[in-house]
Amino acid sequence: MSSGAEESLEFAPVFDKDGLIPAIVCDAASDRVLMFAHMNREALELTQSSGVVHLWSRSRKALWKKGEQSGETLAVREILVDCDQDVLLVKAEHQGKGAACHTGRKSCFYRKLEGKRLSIVDDVRLYNPADIYRR
């Protein structure tokens, strides 16, 4: 089961047919998952060279410095890659008020599943999105 990609120390990220690789961002201190997004090669290179998380927005089809509007940038502490080299895990430190989610919450994962319903497990808003984002 061991292939080159799994044991290699050469970084050879696998981008999908759209040129994207999934990127999980977690809090470097607590390991809590903050958000999930995608990077293209340019976003990954910018993330590495600047030390600040850059992403590719699939909805806006644009390179995106995370927190550019909100000030909620994420400083990179470590970038890990999975066994198949087709997923990245970015360990980051919150800048700004510490909200990775555009709803103003620390993490995008603030609701848990209970059967067919959701319940909110974190409703602390670190900023008011209405103060920052305009429709």
Tokens of 11: 């970084």
Contact residue for its own copies among 80, 93, 97, 124 (CB under 8 A): 80
Decide: is 65 part of the binding site for its own copies (CB under 8 A).
no
DSSP annotation string for 82-127: -TTS--EEEEEEE-TTS--STTSSS-S--EEEETTEEEES----SS
Of 28, 52, 81, 126, the residue at the interface with its own copies (CB under 8 A) is: 81
Interaction of residue 87 with its own copies, rule CB under 8 A: yes
Q: Map residues 96-135 to x or -, x wherever contact with its own copies holds by CB under 8 A.
A: -----xxx----xxxxxx-xxxxxxx-------xx--x-x
65 or 133: CB nearest its own copies: 133
The secondary structure of residue 60, as a DSSP letter, is: T
Q: Can you tell me the distance from the alpha carbon of 9 to that of 39, in angstroms, rounded to the nearest whole number?
A: 21
Among 28, 82, 96, 98, binds its own copies (CB under 8 A): 82
Degrees, nearest 5: CA angle 13-18-20: 35
Q: How far is the CB of 93 from its own copies (least distance, A)?
A: 15
Q: Kindly state whether residue 42 participates in binding its own copies, applying the rule CB under 8 A.
A: no
